[in-house]
Amino acid sequence: MSKICLCLTGKTLAHDLEIIEKNRKYVDVAELRVDCLDPDERFRIRRFPEMAGLPVILTIRRESDGGKYQGGEGARISLLAHGLANAFTDPRLNFAYVDLEDYLNVPALEEAARVFGTKIIRSYHNIHGTDDDIVEKLKSLYHVGDELAKIAAMANSLSDVLRMYRASQEMTDMNKILICMGPFGIPSRILADRFGSEFSYTTMAGQSLGAPGQLEPKELSDHYCFKSISNKTKVFGITGFPLRATFSPTFFNTIFKLEDTDAVYVPFPTDNVKTFLELAEALNVSGASVTIPHKTAIIPYLGSQSESVQSIGACNTIISDPRGWIGTNTDASGFSGSLLNFIGKKNLKGKRVTIIGAGGAAHAVAAEVYRLEARALIVNRTAVKAKELALPYGFAWDGLDHHCVEHIKKYADIIIQTTSAGMEPNIGEDPFALYQFSGREVVMDLIYTPECTAFLDRASRAGCQTLNGYDMLIRQAQAQYELFMGKEFPSHLLSRF
Ligand code: ATR
Protein backbone atom coordinates (compact mmCIF):
# COMPACT_ATOMS: atom_id res chain seq x y z
CA MET A 1 0.00 0.00 0.00
CA SER A 2 1.34 3.45 -0.88
CA LYS A 3 2.39 5.80 1.88
CA ILE A 4 2.02 9.55 2.25
CA CYS A 5 5.34 11.32 2.51
CA LEU A 6 5.52 14.85 3.94
CA CYS A 7 8.17 16.94 2.26
CA LEU A 8 9.89 19.23 4.81
CA THR A 9 11.17 22.38 3.19
CA GLY A 10 11.59 24.62 6.27
CA LYS A 11 14.68 26.71 6.94
CA THR A 12 15.13 25.30 10.44
CA LEU A 13 14.72 21.86 12.01
CA ALA A 14 12.42 23.36 14.65
CA HIS A 15 10.11 24.63 11.94
CA ASP A 16 10.16 21.23 10.19
CA LEU A 17 9.22 19.56 13.48
CA GLU A 18 6.26 21.95 13.84
CA ILE A 19 5.11 20.96 10.35
CA ILE A 20 5.34 17.28 11.30
CA GLU A 21 3.24 17.87 14.41
CA LYS A 22 0.54 19.59 12.38
CA ASN A 23 0.37 16.70 9.91
CA ARG A 24 1.30 13.67 11.96
CA LYS A 25 -2.08 12.00 11.66
CA TYR A 26 -2.06 12.22 7.87
CA VAL A 27 1.47 11.10 6.98
CA ASP A 28 3.57 7.94 7.23
CA VAL A 29 7.00 9.23 6.29
CA ALA A 30 8.78 12.61 6.18
CA GLU A 31 11.45 13.75 3.77
CA LEU A 32 13.99 16.11 5.33
CA ARG A 33 15.06 18.36 2.50
CA VAL A 34 18.42 19.37 3.91
CA ASP A 35 18.99 21.61 0.89
CA CYS A 36 16.16 23.90 2.15
CA LEU A 37 17.69 24.31 5.64
CA ASP A 38 19.78 27.33 6.63
CA PRO A 39 23.49 26.40 6.38
CA ASP A 40 23.97 26.42 10.21
CA GLU A 41 21.10 23.99 10.67
CA ARG A 42 22.51 21.44 8.25
CA PHE A 43 25.07 20.22 10.76
CA ARG A 44 22.36 19.32 13.28
CA ILE A 45 20.47 16.86 11.08
CA ARG A 46 21.84 13.67 12.60
CA ARG A 47 19.38 13.77 15.54
CA PHE A 48 16.40 14.65 13.40
CA PRO A 49 14.91 11.12 13.00
CA GLU A 50 14.83 10.75 16.78
CA MET A 51 13.12 14.14 17.16
CA ALA A 52 10.66 13.44 14.34
CA GLY A 53 9.37 10.14 15.70
CA LEU A 54 8.48 8.75 12.27
CA PRO A 55 10.55 7.30 9.41
CA VAL A 56 12.57 10.06 7.73
CA ILE A 57 14.18 10.27 4.29
CA LEU A 58 17.50 12.10 4.10
CA THR A 59 17.62 14.18 0.92
CA ILE A 60 19.98 16.93 -0.27
CA ARG A 61 18.71 18.01 -3.66
CA ARG A 62 20.80 20.08 -6.08
CA GLU A 63 19.29 23.00 -7.99
CA SER A 64 19.62 21.12 -11.29
CA ASP A 65 17.35 18.40 -9.85
CA GLY A 66 14.75 20.88 -8.60
CA GLY A 67 16.30 21.44 -5.13
CA LYS A 68 18.01 24.38 -3.45
CA TYR A 69 21.50 23.03 -2.82
CA GLN A 70 24.14 25.31 -4.31
CA GLY A 71 27.35 24.01 -2.67
CA GLY A 72 29.91 21.70 -4.24
CA GLU A 73 29.55 17.90 -4.58
CA GLY A 74 32.27 17.24 -1.98
CA ALA A 75 30.42 19.24 0.66
CA ARG A 76 27.12 17.57 -0.26
CA ILE A 77 28.63 14.09 0.10
CA SER A 78 30.10 15.10 3.49
CA LEU A 79 26.65 16.22 4.64
CA LEU A 80 25.08 12.95 3.51
CA ALA A 81 27.84 11.08 5.35
CA HIS A 82 27.16 13.20 8.45
CA GLY A 83 23.49 12.21 8.32
CA LEU A 84 24.38 8.52 8.11
CA ALA A 85 27.23 8.60 10.65
CA ASN A 86 27.22 7.25 14.23
CA ALA A 87 24.29 4.99 13.55
CA PHE A 88 22.39 3.57 16.51
CA THR A 89 21.41 -0.06 16.74
CA ASP A 90 17.81 1.09 17.25
CA PRO A 91 16.85 1.81 13.61
CA ARG A 92 14.18 4.34 14.66
CA LEU A 93 16.98 6.71 15.64
CA ASN A 94 18.60 6.58 12.21
CA PHE A 95 17.34 7.91 8.89
CA ALA A 96 15.01 5.26 7.49
CA TYR A 97 15.88 6.16 3.89
CA VAL A 98 18.55 8.09 2.05
CA ASP A 99 17.88 9.53 -1.40
CA LEU A 100 20.94 9.11 -3.61
CA GLU A 101 20.72 10.40 -7.18
CA ASP A 102 21.56 7.98 -9.98
CA TYR A 103 24.74 9.90 -10.89
CA LEU A 104 26.04 9.89 -7.30
CA ASN A 105 28.46 7.00 -7.16
CA VAL A 106 29.92 6.92 -3.63
CA PRO A 107 30.18 3.29 -2.45
CA ALA A 108 31.13 4.35 1.10
CA LEU A 109 27.79 6.16 1.51
CA GLU A 110 25.85 3.15 0.26
CA GLU A 111 27.81 0.88 2.56
CA ALA A 112 27.13 3.10 5.58
CA ALA A 113 23.43 3.11 4.73
CA ARG A 114 23.20 -0.65 4.29
CA VAL A 115 25.08 -1.53 7.47
CA PHE A 116 22.60 0.37 9.66
CA GLY A 117 19.45 -0.50 7.79
CA THR A 118 18.93 2.83 6.01
CA LYS A 119 17.13 1.98 2.78
CA ILE A 120 18.52 3.54 -0.38
CA ILE A 121 16.23 5.43 -2.75
CA ARG A 122 18.05 5.56 -6.07
CA SER A 123 16.54 8.61 -7.73
CA TYR A 124 16.36 10.24 -11.10
CA HIS A 125 14.82 13.69 -11.66
CA ASN A 126 13.83 15.38 -14.84
CA ILE A 127 12.38 18.79 -14.04
CA HIS A 128 11.80 19.62 -17.72
CA GLY A 129 9.94 16.60 -19.08
CA THR A 130 9.39 12.83 -19.09
CA ASP A 131 12.02 10.64 -20.74
CA ASP A 132 11.13 8.51 -23.74
CA ASP A 133 12.12 5.18 -22.28
CA ILE A 134 10.94 5.14 -18.69
CA VAL A 135 11.26 1.36 -18.35
CA GLU A 136 14.95 1.39 -19.35
CA LYS A 137 15.55 4.26 -16.95
CA LEU A 138 13.89 2.32 -14.13
CA LYS A 139 15.98 -0.75 -14.86
CA SER A 140 19.15 1.33 -14.81
CA LEU A 141 18.21 2.71 -11.39
CA TYR A 142 17.55 -0.61 -9.75
CA HIS A 143 20.39 -1.76 -7.61
CA VAL A 144 20.10 -4.47 -4.98
CA GLY A 145 17.67 -6.06 -2.56
CA ASP A 146 14.82 -3.88 -1.35
CA GLU A 147 16.25 -0.58 -2.56
CA LEU A 148 13.76 1.76 -4.17
CA ALA A 149 14.06 3.14 -7.68
CA LYS A 150 12.56 6.64 -7.96
CA ILE A 151 11.66 8.62 -11.05
CA ALA A 152 10.26 12.12 -10.62
CA ALA A 153 9.60 13.66 -14.02
CA MET A 154 7.74 16.75 -15.15
CA ALA A 155 4.55 15.81 -17.00
CA ASN A 156 4.06 18.31 -19.81
CA SER A 157 0.81 16.66 -20.80
CA LEU A 158 -1.50 13.86 -19.66
CA SER A 159 0.17 11.59 -22.22
CA ASP A 160 3.35 11.75 -20.07
CA VAL A 161 1.24 10.47 -17.17
CA LEU A 162 -0.10 7.69 -19.39
CA ARG A 163 3.45 6.68 -20.39
CA MET A 164 4.50 6.63 -16.74
CA TYR A 165 1.50 4.44 -15.91
CA ARG A 166 2.30 2.00 -18.72
CA ALA A 167 5.92 1.78 -17.53
CA SER A 168 4.68 1.04 -14.02
CA GLN A 169 2.62 -1.85 -15.41
CA GLU A 170 5.70 -3.33 -17.07
CA MET A 171 7.68 -3.13 -13.85
CA THR A 172 5.20 -4.39 -11.28
CA ASP A 173 7.83 -6.47 -9.44
CA MET A 174 10.11 -3.54 -8.73
CA ASN A 175 10.08 -1.50 -5.50
CA LYS A 176 9.67 1.97 -6.86
CA ILE A 177 8.47 5.53 -6.53
CA LEU A 178 6.99 7.14 -9.63
CA ILE A 179 5.96 10.76 -9.67
CA CYS A 180 4.59 12.88 -12.48
CA MET A 181 5.29 16.48 -11.47
CA GLY A 182 3.22 19.55 -12.38
CA PRO A 183 -0.55 20.00 -12.69
CA PHE A 184 -0.97 17.21 -15.27
CA GLY A 185 0.61 14.79 -12.78
CA ILE A 186 -2.10 15.05 -10.10
CA PRO A 187 -3.65 11.63 -10.97
CA SER A 188 -0.27 9.97 -10.37
CA ARG A 189 -0.15 11.50 -6.88
CA ILE A 190 -3.70 10.47 -5.89
CA LEU A 191 -3.54 7.05 -7.57
CA ALA A 192 0.04 6.34 -6.46
CA ASP A 193 -1.05 2.84 -5.47
CA ARG A 194 -2.26 2.11 -9.03
CA PHE A 195 1.10 3.38 -10.32
CA GLY A 196 2.83 0.90 -7.99
CA SER A 197 4.50 3.85 -6.28
CA GLU A 198 5.51 3.34 -2.65
CA PHE A 199 5.21 7.03 -1.76
CA SER A 200 3.16 10.03 -2.74
CA TYR A 201 4.94 13.24 -1.75
CA THR A 202 2.99 16.12 -0.20
CA THR A 203 3.73 19.60 1.21
CA MET A 204 1.76 21.59 3.75
CA ALA A 205 0.15 24.76 2.40
CA GLY A 206 2.21 27.85 2.99
CA GLN A 207 5.51 25.95 2.79
CA SER A 208 7.76 26.18 -0.24
CA LEU A 209 6.83 23.26 -2.50
CA GLY A 210 9.04 20.19 -2.51
CA ALA A 211 8.12 19.71 -6.18
CA PRO A 212 5.48 21.26 -8.43
CA GLY A 213 2.04 19.66 -8.21
CA GLN A 214 2.31 18.29 -4.68
CA LEU A 215 -0.98 18.09 -2.79
CA GLU A 216 -1.46 18.85 0.89
CA PRO A 217 -1.23 15.90 3.31
CA LYS A 218 -4.70 16.55 4.75
CA GLU A 219 -6.18 16.87 1.27
CA LEU A 220 -4.65 13.61 0.08
CA SER A 221 -5.45 11.75 3.27
CA ASP A 222 -8.91 13.08 4.20
CA HIS A 223 -10.36 14.35 0.96
CA TYR A 224 -9.10 11.62 -1.40
CA CYS A 225 -9.00 8.90 1.33
CA PHE A 226 -5.59 7.96 -0.07
CA LYS A 227 -4.97 5.11 2.34
CA SER A 228 -8.16 3.30 1.38
CA ILE A 229 -7.35 3.33 -2.33
CA SER A 230 -6.59 -0.17 -3.55
CA ASN A 231 -6.91 -2.11 -6.80
CA LYS A 232 -10.56 -2.70 -5.92
CA THR A 233 -11.37 1.01 -5.51
CA LYS A 234 -13.65 2.35 -8.24
CA VAL A 235 -12.10 5.35 -9.94
CA PHE A 236 -14.18 8.28 -11.21
CA GLY A 237 -12.96 11.66 -12.30
CA ILE A 238 -13.34 14.89 -14.15
CA THR A 239 -11.56 16.02 -17.26
CA GLY A 240 -11.27 19.55 -18.58
CA PHE A 241 -8.73 22.33 -18.93
CA PRO A 242 -7.37 24.12 -17.01
CA LEU A 243 -9.71 22.55 -14.42
CA ARG A 244 -8.75 24.88 -11.58
CA ALA A 245 -11.94 25.83 -9.77
CA THR A 246 -14.01 22.68 -9.98
CA PHE A 247 -16.50 21.78 -7.28
CA SER A 248 -17.00 18.16 -8.41
CA PRO A 249 -14.05 16.47 -6.59
CA THR A 250 -15.25 17.93 -3.29
CA PHE A 251 -18.82 16.86 -3.98
CA PHE A 252 -18.11 13.27 -4.99
CA ASN A 253 -15.29 12.53 -2.56
CA THR A 254 -17.36 13.90 0.33
CA ILE A 255 -20.32 11.71 -0.63
CA PHE A 256 -18.12 8.62 -1.10
CA LYS A 257 -16.60 9.19 2.33
CA LEU A 258 -19.91 9.80 4.09
CA GLU A 259 -21.39 6.69 2.48
CA ASP A 260 -18.23 4.64 3.04
CA THR A 261 -18.12 3.79 -0.66
CA ASP A 262 -14.87 2.33 -1.95
CA ALA A 263 -14.47 4.93 -4.71
CA VAL A 264 -12.38 8.00 -5.48
CA TYR A 265 -12.97 10.96 -7.78
CA VAL A 266 -9.82 12.35 -9.41
CA PRO A 267 -9.13 15.51 -11.46
CA PHE A 268 -7.57 14.72 -14.86
CA PRO A 269 -6.59 18.09 -16.34
CA THR A 270 -5.79 17.84 -20.04
CA ASP A 271 -6.17 19.81 -23.23
CA ASN A 272 -6.48 16.55 -25.17
CA VAL A 273 -9.63 14.55 -24.49
CA LYS A 274 -8.40 11.51 -26.50
CA THR A 275 -5.42 11.12 -24.16
CA PHE A 276 -7.75 11.33 -21.20
CA LEU A 277 -9.84 8.46 -22.57
CA GLU A 278 -6.71 6.34 -23.16
CA LEU A 279 -5.56 6.93 -19.59
CA ALA A 280 -9.10 6.37 -18.26
CA GLU A 281 -9.24 3.02 -20.06
CA ALA A 282 -5.78 2.02 -18.80
CA LEU A 283 -6.74 2.93 -15.23
CA ASN A 284 -10.15 1.29 -15.55
CA VAL A 285 -12.02 4.52 -14.77
CA SER A 286 -15.72 3.73 -14.25
CA GLY A 287 -17.14 7.12 -15.17
CA ALA A 288 -16.22 10.75 -15.52
CA SER A 289 -17.53 14.28 -15.66
CA VAL A 290 -16.52 16.21 -18.75
CA THR A 291 -16.17 19.96 -18.63
CA ILE A 292 -14.92 22.94 -20.64
CA PRO A 293 -13.46 22.70 -23.29
CA HIS A 294 -14.21 19.00 -23.98
CA LYS A 295 -18.01 18.79 -23.88
CA THR A 296 -18.31 18.75 -27.67
CA ALA A 297 -14.85 17.38 -28.54
CA ILE A 298 -15.57 14.12 -26.68
CA ILE A 299 -18.64 13.20 -28.78
CA PRO A 300 -16.78 11.45 -31.66
CA TYR A 301 -15.15 9.08 -29.13
CA LEU A 302 -18.41 7.91 -27.56
CA GLY A 303 -19.71 4.40 -28.19
CA SER A 304 -23.27 5.62 -27.67
CA GLN A 305 -24.95 8.82 -26.61
CA SER A 306 -28.17 9.82 -24.89
CA GLU A 307 -30.93 11.81 -26.56
CA SER A 308 -29.87 14.85 -24.55
CA VAL A 309 -26.33 14.70 -26.00
CA GLN A 310 -27.77 14.41 -29.48
CA SER A 311 -30.12 17.36 -29.11
CA ILE A 312 -27.72 19.66 -27.21
CA GLY A 313 -24.53 18.66 -29.01
CA ALA A 314 -22.65 18.53 -25.70
CA CYS A 315 -21.77 15.72 -23.30
CA ASN A 316 -20.85 16.31 -19.64
CA THR A 317 -20.93 12.73 -18.31
CA ILE A 318 -19.39 9.48 -19.56
CA ILE A 319 -19.82 5.99 -18.19
CA SER A 320 -17.57 3.07 -18.97
CA ASP A 321 -19.17 0.16 -20.80
CA PRO A 322 -17.64 -2.87 -22.54
CA ARG A 323 -19.08 -1.53 -25.83
CA GLY A 324 -17.48 1.90 -25.41
CA TRP A 325 -18.11 5.08 -23.43
CA ILE A 326 -21.76 6.01 -22.94
CA GLY A 327 -22.21 9.78 -23.09
CA THR A 328 -25.02 11.70 -21.40
CA ASN A 329 -25.77 15.26 -20.38
CA THR A 330 -26.89 16.18 -16.87
CA ASP A 331 -26.45 19.97 -17.29
CA ALA A 332 -29.80 20.12 -19.09
CA SER A 333 -31.84 18.32 -16.42
CA GLY A 334 -29.90 20.16 -13.69
CA PHE A 335 -30.88 23.48 -15.23
CA SER A 336 -34.55 22.73 -15.79
CA GLY A 337 -34.94 20.99 -12.42
CA SER A 338 -33.54 24.04 -10.69
CA LEU A 339 -35.59 26.63 -12.60
CA LEU A 340 -38.88 24.71 -12.38
CA ASN A 341 -38.42 24.13 -8.68
CA PHE A 342 -37.71 27.86 -8.21
CA ILE A 343 -40.84 29.02 -10.02
CA GLY A 344 -42.95 26.13 -8.71
CA LYS A 345 -44.07 24.90 -12.14
CA LYS A 346 -43.84 21.68 -14.16
CA ASN A 347 -43.13 23.36 -17.49
CA LEU A 348 -42.65 26.79 -19.06
CA LYS A 349 -45.84 26.85 -21.13
CA GLY A 350 -46.89 30.41 -21.90
CA LYS A 351 -43.61 31.88 -20.62
CA ARG A 352 -41.46 34.21 -22.69
CA VAL A 353 -37.80 33.71 -21.97
CA THR A 354 -34.58 35.57 -22.85
CA ILE A 355 -31.39 33.52 -22.96
CA ILE A 356 -28.17 35.57 -22.80
CA GLY A 357 -25.26 33.85 -24.59
CA ALA A 358 -24.92 31.20 -27.26
CA GLY A 359 -22.05 28.99 -26.02
CA GLY A 360 -22.05 25.45 -24.68
CA ALA A 361 -24.10 26.25 -21.57
CA ALA A 362 -26.65 28.17 -23.66
CA HIS A 363 -27.09 25.08 -25.89
CA ALA A 364 -28.23 22.99 -22.91
CA VAL A 365 -30.50 25.81 -21.67
CA ALA A 366 -32.07 26.39 -25.11
CA ALA A 367 -32.82 22.66 -25.57
CA GLU A 368 -34.58 22.53 -22.20
CA VAL A 369 -36.46 25.80 -22.67
CA TYR A 370 -37.74 24.37 -25.98
CA ARG A 371 -38.63 21.00 -24.41
CA LEU A 372 -40.54 22.82 -21.66
CA GLU A 373 -42.58 24.64 -24.29
CA ALA A 374 -41.55 28.26 -23.71
CA ARG A 375 -41.06 30.85 -26.43
CA ALA A 376 -37.60 32.32 -26.33
CA LEU A 377 -35.24 35.01 -27.56
CA ILE A 378 -31.50 34.33 -27.69
CA VAL A 379 -29.24 37.38 -27.41
CA ASN A 380 -25.52 37.09 -27.89
CA ARG A 381 -22.52 39.41 -28.33
CA THR A 382 -21.81 37.63 -31.63
CA ALA A 383 -25.25 37.80 -33.24
CA VAL A 384 -24.64 35.07 -35.81
CA LYS A 385 -24.11 32.51 -33.04
CA ALA A 386 -27.44 33.52 -31.48
CA LYS A 387 -29.04 32.94 -34.88
CA GLU A 388 -27.45 29.50 -35.31
CA LEU A 389 -28.68 28.39 -31.92
CA ALA A 390 -32.15 29.92 -32.25
CA LEU A 391 -33.19 28.75 -35.70
CA PRO A 392 -33.55 24.98 -35.11
CA TYR A 393 -35.93 25.73 -32.22
CA GLY A 394 -37.80 28.47 -34.02
CA PHE A 395 -36.67 30.98 -31.34
CA ALA A 396 -36.08 34.68 -31.95
CA TRP A 397 -32.50 35.99 -31.85
CA ASP A 398 -30.63 39.27 -31.61
CA GLY A 399 -27.22 40.82 -30.99
CA LEU A 400 -26.43 41.89 -27.43
CA ASP A 401 -26.49 45.65 -27.99
CA HIS A 402 -28.82 48.60 -27.32
CA HIS A 403 -31.04 47.73 -30.27
CA CYS A 404 -32.16 44.52 -28.60
CA VAL A 405 -33.72 46.14 -25.50
CA GLU A 406 -37.19 46.54 -27.00
CA HIS A 407 -36.97 42.97 -28.27
CA ILE A 408 -36.05 41.68 -24.80
CA LYS A 409 -39.03 43.45 -23.21
CA LYS A 410 -41.24 41.05 -25.19
CA TYR A 411 -39.41 38.01 -23.72
CA ALA A 412 -39.01 39.19 -20.16
CA ASP A 413 -40.91 36.69 -17.97
CA ILE A 414 -37.68 34.80 -17.33
CA ILE A 415 -34.12 35.97 -18.13
CA ILE A 416 -31.31 33.40 -18.06
CA GLN A 417 -27.64 34.47 -18.10
CA THR A 418 -25.38 31.71 -19.50
CA THR A 419 -22.11 33.53 -20.33
CA SER A 420 -18.95 33.53 -18.21
CA ALA A 421 -19.08 37.33 -17.79
CA GLY A 422 -19.19 38.14 -14.06
CA MET A 423 -17.17 35.10 -13.02
CA GLU A 424 -13.42 35.02 -12.17
CA PRO A 425 -11.40 36.81 -13.52
CA ASN A 426 -14.18 39.20 -14.63
CA ILE A 427 -15.98 39.64 -11.31
CA GLY A 428 -18.07 42.82 -11.43
CA GLU A 429 -18.76 42.57 -15.15
CA ASP A 430 -22.44 42.76 -16.12
CA PRO A 431 -23.06 41.51 -19.68
CA PHE A 432 -26.66 42.77 -19.53
CA ALA A 433 -26.00 46.33 -18.32
CA LEU A 434 -27.96 47.71 -21.28
CA TYR A 435 -31.27 46.39 -19.84
CA GLN A 436 -33.20 47.98 -16.95
CA PHE A 437 -35.08 45.35 -14.91
CA SER A 438 -38.73 46.16 -14.19
CA GLY A 439 -38.71 43.98 -11.07
CA ARG A 440 -41.25 41.52 -12.53
CA GLU A 441 -38.71 39.26 -14.25
CA VAL A 442 -37.52 35.94 -12.80
CA VAL A 443 -33.74 36.16 -13.26
CA MET A 444 -31.33 33.24 -13.28
CA ASP A 445 -27.54 33.37 -13.61
CA LEU A 446 -25.79 30.02 -14.24
CA ILE A 447 -22.69 31.33 -12.41
CA TYR A 448 -22.34 30.17 -8.78
CA THR A 449 -19.00 31.73 -7.84
CA PRO A 450 -19.40 34.51 -6.92
CA GLU A 451 -22.73 33.67 -5.34
CA CYS A 452 -24.19 36.94 -6.52
CA THR A 453 -22.85 38.42 -9.74
CA ALA A 454 -23.19 42.11 -10.59
CA PHE A 455 -25.98 41.08 -13.00
CA LEU A 456 -27.92 39.16 -10.34
CA ASP A 457 -27.35 41.86 -7.74
CA ARG A 458 -28.81 44.50 -10.05
CA ALA A 459 -31.84 42.28 -10.76
CA SER A 460 -32.37 41.62 -7.08
CA ARG A 461 -32.15 45.33 -6.19
CA ALA A 462 -34.76 46.04 -8.87
CA GLY A 463 -37.10 43.64 -7.03
CA CYS A 464 -36.73 40.56 -9.28
CA GLN A 465 -36.79 37.01 -7.94
CA THR A 466 -33.23 35.75 -8.50
CA LEU A 467 -31.53 32.36 -8.64
CA ASN A 468 -27.84 31.55 -9.09
CA GLY A 469 -26.28 28.39 -10.57
CA TYR A 470 -25.50 26.56 -7.33
CA ASP A 471 -28.71 24.56 -7.16
CA MET A 472 -28.29 23.62 -10.84
CA LEU A 473 -24.72 22.51 -10.11
CA ILE A 474 -25.83 20.28 -7.27
CA ARG A 475 -28.69 18.83 -9.32
CA GLN A 476 -26.47 17.97 -12.28
CA ALA A 477 -23.93 16.39 -9.90
CA GLN A 478 -26.70 14.36 -8.23
CA ALA A 479 -27.76 13.10 -11.66
CA GLN A 480 -24.14 12.18 -12.42
CA TYR A 481 -23.91 10.29 -9.15
CA GLU A 482 -26.98 8.24 -10.10
CA LEU A 483 -25.47 7.41 -13.50
CA PHE A 484 -22.09 6.54 -11.97
CA MET A 485 -23.40 4.44 -9.10
CA GLY A 486 -26.58 3.05 -10.65
CA LYS A 487 -28.61 4.00 -7.56
CA GLU A 488 -30.57 6.88 -6.14
CA PHE A 489 -28.65 9.84 -4.72
CA PRO A 490 -28.67 9.86 -0.88
CA SER A 491 -30.42 13.22 -0.59
CA HIS A 492 -30.12 13.32 3.21
CA LEU A 493 -26.41 14.03 2.63
CA LEU A 494 -27.13 17.23 0.71
CA SER A 495 -27.08 19.26 3.90
CA ARG A 496 -23.30 18.75 3.93
CA PHE A 497 -22.90 21.20 1.03
P1 ATR B 1 -19.71 27.93 -22.22
O2 ATR B 1 -19.48 26.54 -22.73
O3 ATR B 1 -19.38 28.11 -20.75
O4 ATR B 1 -21.05 28.48 -22.55
P5 ATR B 1 -18.42 29.17 -24.45
O6 ATR B 1 -18.92 28.09 -25.31
O7 ATR B 1 -17.01 29.63 -24.61
O8 ATR B 1 -18.59 28.82 -22.92
O9 ATR B 1 -19.42 30.43 -24.65
C10 ATR B 1 -19.23 31.60 -24.02
C11 ATR B 1 -20.47 32.48 -24.24
O12 ATR B 1 -20.33 33.61 -23.39
C13 ATR B 1 -20.61 33.01 -25.64
O14 ATR B 1 -21.96 33.22 -25.91
C15 ATR B 1 -19.88 34.36 -25.54
O16 ATR B 1 -20.24 35.32 -26.50
P17 ATR B 1 -19.56 35.31 -27.96
O18 ATR B 1 -20.23 34.21 -28.72
O19 ATR B 1 -19.84 36.65 -28.51
O20 ATR B 1 -18.11 35.07 -27.75
C21 ATR B 1 -20.33 34.79 -24.18
N22 ATR B 1 -19.47 35.76 -23.55
C23 ATR B 1 -18.26 35.53 -23.00
N24 ATR B 1 -17.78 36.66 -22.45
C25 ATR B 1 -18.72 37.63 -22.63
C26 ATR B 1 -18.82 38.99 -22.27
N27 ATR B 1 -17.84 39.59 -21.61
N28 ATR B 1 -19.94 39.67 -22.60
C29 ATR B 1 -20.92 39.06 -23.28
N30 ATR B 1 -20.90 37.76 -23.65
C31 ATR B 1 -19.80 37.05 -23.33
d(CA 113, CA 7): 21
Expressed in angstroms and rounded, the spacing between residue 359 Cα and the centre of ligand 1 is 6
CA distances from 395 to 80, 353, 385, 402 (A): 73, 10, 13, 20
Q: What residue owns the CA closest to ligand 1's atom 9?
A: 359
The 375-380 sheet, strands edge to edge: 396-399, 375-380, 352-356, 414-417, 442-445, 465-467
Number of the ligand 1 atom closest to the C-alpha atom of 363: 4
| pLDDT tens-digit map of 437-449 | 999 999 999 999 9
pLDDT at residue 356, rounded to an integer? 98
> Would you say residue 69 has pLDDT above 80?
yes
Query: Is 234 designated active site?
Result: no
> Would you say residue 489 has pLDDT above 80?
yes
Please tell me if the domain spanning 3-231 has the same topology as the one spanning 332-473: no
d(CA 263, CA 336): 29
Mean pLDDT of all residues in 59-70: 96
| pLDDT tens-digit map of 335-371 | 999 999 999 999 999 999 999 999 989 999 999 999 9
d(CA 221, CA 27): 8
For the chain, how are helix, strand and coil distributed in percent, rounded to 5?
40, 20, 40
**Ligand 1 surroundings by CB, under 6 angstroms:** 292, 357-362, 380-382, 385, 400, 418-421, 429, 431
Expressed in angstroms and rounded, the spacing between residue 384 Cα and the centre of ligand 1 is 13
Mean pLDDT of all residues in 85-104: 93
Helix 273-282 / helix 158-170 crossing angle, nearest 10 deg: 20
pLDDT at residue 368, rounded to an integer? 96
Architecture of domain 332-473: 3-Layer(aba) Sandwich (3.40)
Mean pLDDT of all residues in 417-441: 95
Helices (H), 171-240: 186-190, 217-218
Binned at pLDDT 50, 70 and 90, residue 469 comes out as: very high
Q: Which of 419, 435, 445 to mutate to test the pocket of ligand 1 (most atoms within 8 A of CB)?
A: 419
| pLDDT tens-digit map of 170-228 | 999 999 999 999 999 999 999 999 999 999 999 999 988 888 999 999 999 999 999 99
pLDDT at residue 496, rounded to an integer? 84
**3-state SS assignment for residue 422:** coil
Mean pLDDT of all residues in 132-144: 90
> Would you say residue 309 has pLDDT above 90?
yes
pLDDT at residue 477, rounded to an integer? 96
> Would you say residue 143 has pLDDT above 80?
no
Number of the ligand 1 atom closest to the C-alpha atom of 362: 4
pLDDT at residue 494, rounded to an integer? 87
Contact 303, 323 (CB under 8 A): yes
Indicate the residue type of 311. S
**3-state SS assignment for residue 283:** coil
Expressed in angstroms and rounded, the spacing between residue 380 Cα and the centre of ligand 1 is 8
Q: What residue owns the CA closest to ligand 1's atom 13?
A: 359
Expressed in angstroms and rounded, the spacing between residue 382 Cα and the centre of ligand 1 is 9
In the chain, where are the structural domains located?
3-231, 332-473
Contact 200, 250 (CB under 8 A): no
| pLDDT tens-digit map of 230-267 | 999 999 999 999 887 789 999 999 999 999 999 999 99
Q: Which long-range contacts (CB under 8 A, 24 or more apart) does 290-296 make?
A: 290/238, 290/239, 290/240, 290/315, 290/316, 290/317, 290/318, 290/327, 291/238, 291/239, 291/240, 291/243, 291/246, 291/316, 292/240, 292/241, 292/360, 293/240, 293/241, 294/239, 294/240, 294/241, 295/360, 296/360
Expressed in angstroms and rounded, the spacing between residue 379 Cα and the centre of ligand 1 is 11
> Would you say residue 495 has pLDDT above 90?
no
Catalytic residue among 176, 295, 349, 351: 295
In this structure, what are the phi and psi dihedrals at residue 445, rounded to the nearest 5 degrees? -120, 130
443 Cβ contact list (under 8 Å, min separation 6)? 414, 415, 417, 437, 455, 456, 459, 460, 464, 465, 466, 467
Mean pLDDT of all residues in 115-129: 95
Q: Which of 329, 388, 420, 434 to mutate to test the pocket of ligand 1 (most atoms within 8 A of CB)?
A: 420
In this structure, what are the phi and psi dihedrals at residue 223, rounded to the nearest 5 degrees? -75, -50
Question: Percent of the chain, pLDDT > 70?
Answer: 100
d(CA 195, CA 177): 9
Contact 29, 1 (CB under 8 A): no
Q: What is the CATH number of domain 3-231?
A: 3.20.20.70
| Strand partners of residue 237 | 266, 288
